[in-house]
Amino acid sequence: MSEYYHILDTHLALLWDKGCREKDLCNPNIEGLLFREFQTKLSTAVNEALRFGYPTDFTVDAMGWYETKLENPVNIKLSYRIDLENGNLSIDQLTLEFNGKVTSIPITSNKELPHSGQIPIMVKRENLQKTRVVSSPPTPISSRRKL
């Protein structure tokens, strides 16, 4: 069970460094609620992985209120995989939902998780890309009729 606590402590330190606390997300919930949810879901996933003998997936949801930077909150979802055989807890994907649009970002290494302060920039950039009016490309000069 000490391996479980090592994985938990290591990952909580990563999340704190990446600004994933209630105060960093401007979340009005009680400080520490997000980490209790994470710990509960991790514990359940570890028990399932031990019981069935294969890696187990789980998700943790949070809400970010960036009132000075965004007009609406951002739903944040971290998708995890626990592999007890290798003693590895990895973040596979970060999903952001903002104004009805969903952006999924694959994560290949836990260190790639962006800092929570980058989320407003990311959703604004994605929002602009998704709402941009796309016109048809200009006809190449070689195919234009000569007058």
Those residues with Cβ within 8 angstroms of residue 109's Cβ, 6 or more apart along the chain or in another chain: 90
What are the boundaries of each domain within the chain? 2-132
Report the alpha-carbon distance of residue 6 to residue 17 in Å, rounded.
Answer: 17
Angstrom CA distances, 128 to 40, 118, 121, 132, stand at 36, 16, 11, 6
Specify which residues 62 forms β-bridges with: 76
pLDDT digits (tens, 9 = 90+) for 74-125: 999 999 999 988 889 999 999 999 988 999 999 999 999 999 999 998 888 8
Give pTM, 2 decimals: 0.80
* 35, 23 contact by CB (below 8 A): no
